[in-house]
Amino acid sequence: MSTYSLSDGLASGAPRLSRAPLLATWLRESGVGVLASVAWIAFGLSCLWWDDVGDWSRTHSLGIAAFVIAAVALFGTVGADYLGSAGKALHQRAPWLVALGAFLTLWEVATAKFAWLPLPFFPPPQSIIEVYTDDLPKLLDSVFASVKLQLGGYLIGATVGFLTGVSIGWSRAVGYWVHPVLRFIGPLPATAWLPIAFFTFPSSWSASTFLIALATGFPVTVLTWSGVASVSNAYYDVARTLGAKPSFLVLKVAIPAALPHVFVGLFMGLGSSFAVLVVAEMIGVKAGLGWYLQWAQGWAAYANMYAALIVMSLLCSGAITLLFAIRDRLLVWQKGTVKW
Residues 6+ apart with CB under 8 A from 63: 44, 45, 47, 48
Nearest residue to 53 via CA among 114, 121, 122, 124: 114
How far apart CA 98 and CA 125 sit, in angstroms, is 17
**Is residue 259 within the footprint of other proteins (CB under 8 A)?**
yes
Query: Which is nearer to other proteins, 69 or 262 (by Cβ)?
Result: 262
**Is residue 256 within the footprint of other proteins (CB under 8 A)?**
yes
How far apart CA 176 and CA 234 sit, in angstroms, is 25
How far apart CA 165 and CA 83 sit, in angstroms, is 50
- Longest pairwise C-alpha distance within the chain: 91
Residue type, 244: A
How far apart CA 87 and CA 243 sit, in angstroms, is 56
Identify which range of 17-25, 139-147, 162-170, 326-334 contacts other proteins by CB under 8 A. 326-334
Given candidates 45, 147, 239, 283, which one binds other proteins under the rule CB under 8 A?
239
- Neighbouring C-beta atoms of residue 303, cutoff 10 Å: 22
Q: C-beta of 238: minimal distance to other proteins in Å?
A: 5
Identify which range of 72-80, 200-208, 245-253, 298-306 contacts other proteins by CB under 8 A. 245-253
**Is residue 106 within the footprint of other proteins (CB under 8 A)?**
no
Residues 6+ apart with CB under 8 A from 225: 164, 165, 166, 168, 169
C-alpha of 237 from chain center: 42
**Is residue 250 within the footprint of other proteins (CB under 8 A)?**
no
Nearest residue to 194 via CA among 212, 182, 181: 212
**Is residue 326 within the footprint of other proteins (CB under 8 A)?**
no
Q: C-beta of 174: minimal distance to other proteins in Å?
A: 24
Given candidates 6, 23, 173, 332, which one binds other proteins under the rule CB under 8 A?
332
**Is residue 152 within the footprint of other proteins (CB under 8 A)?**
no
Given candidates 57, 171, 334, 337, which one binds other proteins under the rule CB under 8 A?
334
In the DSSP assignment, the letter for residue 243 is T
Site for other proteins in 177-236 (CB under 8 A): 232, 234-235
- Neighbouring C-beta atoms of residue 2, cutoff 10 Å: 5
Query: Which is nearer to other proteins, 138 or 240 (by Cβ)?
Result: 240
**Is residue 329 within the footprint of other proteins (CB under 8 A)?**
no
Given candidates 72, 257, 283, 315, which one binds other proteins under the rule CB under 8 A?
257
**Is residue 237 within the footprint of other proteins (CB under 8 A)?**
yes
Identify which range of 63-71, 90-98, 124-132, 242-250 contacts other proteins by CB under 8 A. 242-250
Query: Which is nearer to other proteins, 5 or 241 (by Cβ)?
Result: 241
Give the binding site for other proteins (CB under 8 A).
Answer: 232, 234-235, 237-245, 248, 252-253, 256-257, 259, 331-335
